[in-house]
Structure 1
Amino acid sequence: MSTAFLRMMLERGDHEVFHEPFSSIVVQGHTIVGERVATSHDELLKLLEERADDHPVFVKETTEYDYLTTGGDRIPYVGRHTFIVRDPRRVIPSHYAMNPDMVCDEIGYGYQVEIARRVREATGVRPFVVEAEDLLTDARDTVERYCRYAGIPFLPSSLSWQPGDQKVWSRTSQWHRDAAGSSAFQRSDRTYGSTVDNDRFLYECYWHHRPHYNMLRKWARSHAVSAA
Structure 2
Amino acid sequence: MQPSAHPIFLLWAHPRSMSTALERVMRERGDCHCLHEPFLYYYYIHLGRRDFPHFDASPDQPRSFDDIVDLIHGESRHRPVFVKDMAYYVMPEIMRHPEMAGQLRHAFLIRDPRRTLMSYYRLDPNFSCEEAGLEAQWRLFRWITALTGVEPPVVRAEDIQRDPRATVGALWERLGLGFVEEAFSWQAGEAPRDWEQMGAWHDRTVRHAGIARDPRADAEVRAEFQTFAGKAPALKAYLDHHWPYYLELSSRSLSVRG
Is it true that 1:55 corresponds to 2:88 in the alignment?
Answer: no
Distance change >3 Å, CA 198–CA 17, structure 1 → 2: same
1:130 positional shift:
0.8
Paired residues for 1:76-225 under 5 Å: 76-163=101-188, 164-188=190-214, 195-196=228-229, 199-220=232-253, 223-225=254-256
In 1, the alpha carbon distance for the partners of 2:250 and 2:101 equals 20
Q: Answer yes or no: is 1:73 the counterpart of 2:90.
A: no
SS at match of 1:90: helix
Residue identity (%): 31
Q: Distance in 1 between matches of 2:208 and 2:230?
A: 28
Q: Match of 1:224, as an amino acid?
A: S
Per-residue displacement from partner, 1:27-82 (whole Å, max 9, x unpaired)?
234988xxx753311221133123213210000012343x2334663263241110
Worse-matched range after superposition: 196-205 or 83-92: 196-205
2:64 to 40, 46, 50: 40
Checking the alignment, whether the CA contact within 8 Å between 1:165 and 1:180 is kept in structure 2 is: yes
Measured in 2, the distance between the counterparts of 1:85 and 1:109 equals 8
CA-to-aligned-CA distance 1:69-96 (integer Å, 9 cap, x gap)? 3466326324111010000010001111
Which amino acid letter does the alignment assign opposite residue 11 of structure 1? E
Q: TM-score with structure 2 length normalisation?
A: 0.78
Alpha-carbon distance in 1 for matches of 2:61, 2:118: 34
Alpha-carbon separation, structure 2, partners of 1:168 and 1:10? 12
Instruction: Indicate if the aligned counterparts of 1:88 and 1:213 stay in contact, CA closer than 8 A.
Output: yes
**Counterparts of 1:183 and 1:170 in 2: how far apart (Å)?**
18
Compare 151-160 and 36-45 and name the one that shifted more. 36-45
> 1:92-146: CA deviations, max 9, x gaps?
0111111111111110111111111111011101110011100111111001101
Q: 2:41–2:63: 8 Å Cα contact kept in structure 1?
A: no
Shift of 1:179: 0.6
Among 28, 33, 36, the alignment partner of 1:11 is: 28
Q: Distance in 1 between matches of 2:32 and 2:192?
A: 15
Unaligned runs of 5+ in 2: 1-17, 48-56
The verdict on how the C-alpha distance between 1:226 and 1:101 changes in structure 2, with shifts beyond 3 A counting, is closer
SS of aligned partner of 2:35: strand
* Structure 1 unaligned residues grouped into runs of 5+: none
Q: Which has the higher contact order (CA 8 A, sep 6+)?
A: 2
Report the secondary structure of 1:176's partner residue: helix
| Residues 161 and 214, structure 2, Cα contact 8 Å, conserved in 1 | no
Judging changes above 3 Å, is the alpha-carbon distance between structure 1 residues 187 and 197 closer, same or farther for their aligned structure 2 residues? Answer: farther
Matches of 2:34 and 2:182, distance apart in 1: 17
- How many residue pairs match? The answer is 221
RMSD: 2.5
Query: 2-side partners of 1:45 and 1:72: how far apart?
Result: 13
Instruction: Tell me if structure 2 keeps the 8 A contact 1:76–1:118.
Output: no
